[in-house]
Amino acid sequence: MSNEYAIIWSRKKDNNFNKIIYIRKGEKKMEDFVSVMLIVGIILHIIAGAFMCDAAQKKGHSWGIFWVCLFLGLAGWLYVCALPDLKQQQNQERIIALLEAGGTDPGGANKSSNVKLDDDLPPL
């Protein structure tokens, strides 16, 4: 037997027999590396989903987008980038309503209605 294999004895409870398993010495380290990288990948995926959820909330959408990003990954991130900006749409609808009402603010927030504009140029 060469030095590149490790011997592991195992005992099954069902049949009460011993079994010898030969495993290469480097395999356990590779399994640990893969499991650590999997955990790190999941954590990074959750962090990226949180950032995408924040971007969606800034556009006026709910935090439920986090689950879309978490389960769909890159496709979910692209979906968040393609979402319409609801806050901007509301502002544009308000501007249109103001223009249709003749330029007066229906909420009464426009306090500068007494300002007189002078279009005459000063003499040179």
Compute the distance between CA of residue 75 and CA of residue 38 in angstroms, rounded to an integer.
20
Length of the chain: 124
Name the residue with higher pLDDT: 64 or 7: 64
What's the pLDDT at 123? 77
What's the pLDDT at 9? 52
46-104 pLDDT per residue, tens? 999 999 999 999 999 888 889 998 889 899 999 999 999 998 999 999 988 888 887 65
* Chain center to CA of 59: 13
Q: Residue 1 — very low, low, confident or very high, per pLDDT cuts 50/70/90?
A: very low
41-53 pLDDT per residue, tens? 999 999 999 999 9
Q: Which candidate, 3, 9, 7, 11, places its Cα nearest to that of 23? A: 7
Spell out the residues 6+ positions from residue 111 whose beta carbon is closer than 8 angstroms to its own.
Answer: none
Find the largest Cα–Cα distance for the chain: 111
pTM, entire model = 0.52
Whether 32 shows a pLDDT value over 60: the answer reads yes
Whether 39 shows a pLDDT value over 50: the answer reads yes
Spell out the residues 6+ positions from residue 120 whose beta carbon is closer than 8 angstroms to its own.
Answer: none
